[in-house]
A and B are shown apart, each in its own frame.
Chain A
């Protein structure tokens, strides 16, 4: 509601400060009641998300035995096997976000240009919704059954002379895990980039064509630049998702590759050196910080995208 009440008060008159004060209180009061509507949500988020996060942040700096403030957890978490874990996790996440990002964008574009009502489009979108949540042991198993050392596809490839295992491929290395991650990362990308694609107005395409642009020119000068912020933002989202994934990696590697998410879980399972019980929390905090930074960039990119894709 626009405030249209303006009171012309002679400067310096006695009425002046009084009016302003009342108006301020009223405005603030109105502002607070407006926020009342989102109280349930805020409460829920605080209880379910914020407080556990705070608990972790606090615990990361606590000595498990004495309860005193200490940096030792953080120190351990950023060295040795844990540092390797962080590094490996980041590499894996980059692999498992950029490649599915490109592939997912291509798929999204392929169906986006299909007619709205087409069966193909609906099938792909619903499949994406389902596969984006598929993971863990079942997924690991699917891939072991097809790409494992004595599995179906490996066998086929052997028949045509391509022995991938001899060439150094293994499902249980970083690249193998990345390959499996694509199974839920690609659908996630399709889902999150479709709204951006729908923001591309047909008028731009037609105007470009009318002015003489070929398809690649349209993408180079208009489509690409306009989509780029959204695309990058979605890739960042995928990065965060890959970094936090646990079940699939655990199922595939069973801890043979140091990955931060697996290491954190092992703390919960009690596989821990005495005195280091809170290192897991420090690791968790570190992970959340990395992701928070990523999310800041994501939000900035989305804001830029929104300016153009209104």
Chain B
């Protein structure tokens, strides 16, 4: 099996291949996909609990969540490999639930090792066309086009066991796209790959998807992947969709505490609710975002970059640790009351804050997310 260094080395040709190739045959105009109220129960667990989602034509929606949240189940229901107990899937407004998987005209890329081992790359890519009774010449031609699109023309005659993980997934992608699918489904396609290869493939998949305009549903547990690739990201937990929004909105305005803490890092600061839409935290009163609880002990959720830090002999915290991240440094501060928080500071400024330095942590007066306190 070729090493993943081969992937790194061919990145240039891969990207160039995508950017510089002749304009691809336009895929069919984007298809809208609708998931309505999907429910799926396995014994005692509700894998999906009334999940609904609308995907616009040409959009890439990522489903993000921890294992067991139902994202893969939802994808497999759309693909036709599983049936929902309730609810339906609509493609262009038509219910596809009674349509068998083989006839749904969707391209799917699996997590790993889904290439047929007895066929070389070219035959793998052409398989879907063979099922559609395309002639041998047409198959080879189209397969060749797609392999070029993913930058693997040279590997056309190679067998899966001779290809590296990254190359295999690119062939799998080509195979899924060869049939000009209405919808592209990706089931954690990058999880089994090396970090470096993962980054390159992310770009390639996104570029291809945008060029072809194929509606895409992408499942992942890696939030960086979801945030960097998707038009919209849906965060799932326990079979329910907690929030679906563009990546920036998801990050800046998380709808629930779960989303806030799952996406990016989030600090929890104890606060006291004042009536009238403010909360007192770190000694100051700041406005509260919609949806906050009315009363009771609360925690205020703030991002590391949403706090300011400055050395102060009578400050409210002491630096306990620093993690150098390059341009910024993540400083861990112990606030009075045994609360530990993380603040992102420019590395030049952080240089002076050795562990043990007394500092003052402060909050700008922007509305904050408030959640009931964890006991």
Are B101 and A210 touching (Cβ within 8 A)?
yes
Whole-angstrom distance between the alpha carbons of A206 and B108 in the complex? 9
Q: Which B-chain residue is minimally distant from A308 (CB atoms)? A: B117
| Contact of A221 with B114 at beta-carbon distance under 8 Å, contacts A210-B101, A211-B179, A212-B132 already known | no
Q: Is A3 an interface residue (CB 8 A)?
A: no
Are A210 and B106 touching (Cβ within 8 A)?
yes
Whole-angstrom distance between the alpha carbons of A263 and B191 in the complex? 62
A212: chain B residues within 8 A (beta carbon): 102-103, 105, 128, 131-132, 179
A217: chain B residues within 8 A (beta carbon): 131
| Contact of A210 with B108 at beta-carbon distance under 8 Å, contacts A217-B131, A221-B127 already known | yes
Total contacting residues, chain A, CB less than 8 A? 21
Q: List 17 A-B residue pairs with CB atoms under 8 Å apart, sorted by A's residue number.
A: A201-B114, A203-B110, A203-B114, A204-B114, A204-B116, A204-B117, A206-B110, A207-B110, A209-B101, A210-B104, A211-B102, A211-B107, A211-B127, A211-B131, A212-B132, A226-B116, A307-B161
| Contact of A213 with B131 at beta-carbon distance under 8 Å, contacts A225-B118, A307-B161 already known | yes
Q: Is A107 an interface residue (CB 8 A)?
A: no
Q: In the complex, what's the smallest C-beta–C-beta distance from A59 to chain B, in angstroms?
A: 46
Are A209 and B110 touching (Cβ within 8 A)?
no
Q: In the complex, what's the smallest C-beta–C-beta distance from B158 to chain A, in angstroms?
A: 13
B111: chain A residues within 8 A (beta carbon): 203
Whole-angstrom distance between the alpha carbons of A221 and B116 in the complex? 9
Q: Is B113 an interface residue (CB 8 A)?
A: yes
Q: In the complex, what's the smallest C-beta–C-beta distance from B53 to chain A, in angstroms?
A: 20
| Contact of A207 with B102 at beta-carbon distance under 8 Å, contacts A212-B132, A308-B118 already known | no
* Chain B residues numbered 113-136 whose CB sits less than 8 Å from any CB in chain A: 113-119, 127-128, 130-132
B132: chain A residues within 8 A (beta carbon): 212
Whole-angstrom distance between the alpha carbons of A211 and B128 in the complex? 5
Not counting A209-B101, A212-B102, A212-B179, a sample of 16 additional A-B residue pairs whose C-beta atoms are within 8 angstroms of each other reads A203-B113, A204-B116, A206-B110, A207-B108, A207-B110, A210-B104, A210-B107, A210-B176, A211-B102, A211-B179, A212-B131, A221-B119, A222-B119, A307-B117, A307-B161, A310-B161
* Chain A residues numbered 195-245 whose CB sits less than 8 Å from any CB in chain B: 201, 203-204, 206-214, 217, 221-222, 225-226
A208: chain B residues within 8 A (beta carbon): 116, 127
* Chain B residues numbered 41-85 whose CB sits less than 8 Å from any CB in chain A: 79-81
Q: Which A-chain residue is minimally distant from B116 (CB atoms)? A: A222
Number of A-B contacts (CB under 8 A): 77
Whole-angstrom distance between the alpha carbons of A206 and B128 in the complex? 12
B106: chain A residues within 8 A (beta carbon): 210
Whole-angstrom distance between the alpha carbons of A307 and B159 in the complex? 10
B119: chain A residues within 8 A (beta carbon): 221-222
| Contact of A222 with B118 at beta-carbon distance under 8 Å, contacts A207-B108, A209-B81 already known | yes
Q: Which B-chain residue is minimally distant from A210 (CB atoms)? A: B108
Q: In the complex, what's the smallest C-beta–C-beta distance from A115 to chain B, in angstroms?
A: 13
Whole-angstrom distance between the alpha carbons of A212 and B172 in the complex? 15
B104: chain A residues within 8 A (beta carbon): 210
8 nearest A-B residue pairs (beta carbon) = A211-B128, A212-B131, A308-B117, A203-B114, A225-B118, A210-B108, A207-B114, A203-B110
Q: Is A124 an interface residue (CB 8 A)?
A: no
1/0 contact string of A262-276 vs chain B (CB within 8 Å): 000000000000000
Q: Which B-chain residue is minimally distant from A307 (CB atoms)? A: B161
Q: Which A-chain residue is minimally distant from B100 (CB atoms)? A: A209
Instruction: Give the interface centre of A206, A214, A308 by most chain B CB atoms within 10 Å.
Output: A206
Q: Is B237 an interface residue (CB 8 A)?
A: no
Q: In the complex, what's the smallest C-beta–C-beta distance from A230 to chain B, in angstroms?
A: 12
B303: chain A residues within 8 A (beta carbon): none
Q: In the complex, what's the smallest C-beta–C-beta distance from A52 to chain B, in angstroms?
A: 40
Q: Is A309 an interface residue (CB 8 A)?
A: yes
Q: Is B182 an interface residue (CB 8 A)?
A: no
Q: In the complex, what's the smallest C-beta–C-beta distance from B214 to chain A, in angstroms?
A: 15
Are A213 and B102 touching (Cβ within 8 A)?
yes
Q: Is B175 an interface residue (CB 8 A)?
A: yes
Whole-angstrom distance between the alpha carbons of A217 and B102 in the complex? 11
Are A308 and B127 touching (Cβ within 8 A)?
no
* Chain A residues numbered 175-211 whose CB sits less than 8 Å from any CB in chain B: 201, 203-204, 206-211
B102: chain A residues within 8 A (beta carbon): 209-214
Query: In the complex, which of the residues B81, B103, B107, B161 contacts A308, with contact meaning CB atoms closer than 8 Å?
Result: B161
Are B116 and A207 touching (Cβ within 8 A)?
yes
Whole-angstrom distance between the alpha carbons of A256 and B107 in the complex? 63
Whole-angstrom distance between the alpha carbons of A309 and B114 in the complex? 12
1/0 contact string of A290-310 vs chain B (CB within 8 Å): 000000000000000001111
Query: In the complex, which of the residues A206, A221, A222, A309 contacts B81, with contact meaning CB atoms closer than 8 Å?
Result: A206
Whole-angstrom distance between the alpha carbons of A217 and B128 in the complex? 11
A310: chain B residues within 8 A (beta carbon): 161
Instruction: Give the interface centre of A210, A222, A307 by most chain B CB atoms within 10 Å.
Output: A210
Whole-angstrom distance between the alpha carbons of A203 and B111 in the complex? 9
Are A201 and B107 touching (Cβ within 8 A)?
no
A226: chain B residues within 8 A (beta carbon): 116-118
Instruction: Give the interface centre of A211, A214, A221, A222 by most chain B CB atoms within 10 Å.
Output: A211
Whole-angstrom distance between the alpha carbons of A309 and B116 in the complex? 10
Whole-angstrom distance between the alpha carbons of A309 and B103 in the complex? 28
Q: In the complex, what's the smallest C-beta–C-beta distance from A272 to chain B, in angstroms?
A: 52
Q: Which A-chain residue is minimally distant from B162 (CB atoms)? A: A307
A222: chain B residues within 8 A (beta carbon): 116, 118-119
1/0 contact string of B27-53 vs chain A (CB within 8 Å): 000000000000000000000000000
| Contact of A309 with B117 at beta-carbon distance under 8 Å, contacts A211-B131, A214-B102, A221-B127 already known | yes
1/0 contact string of B2-43 vs chain A (CB within 8 Å): 000000000000000000000000000000000000000000
Are A201 and B113 touching (Cβ within 8 A)?
yes
Q: Which A-chain residue is minimally distant from B109 (CB atoms)? A: A207
Q: Which B-chain residue is minimally distant from A199 (CB atoms)? A: B117
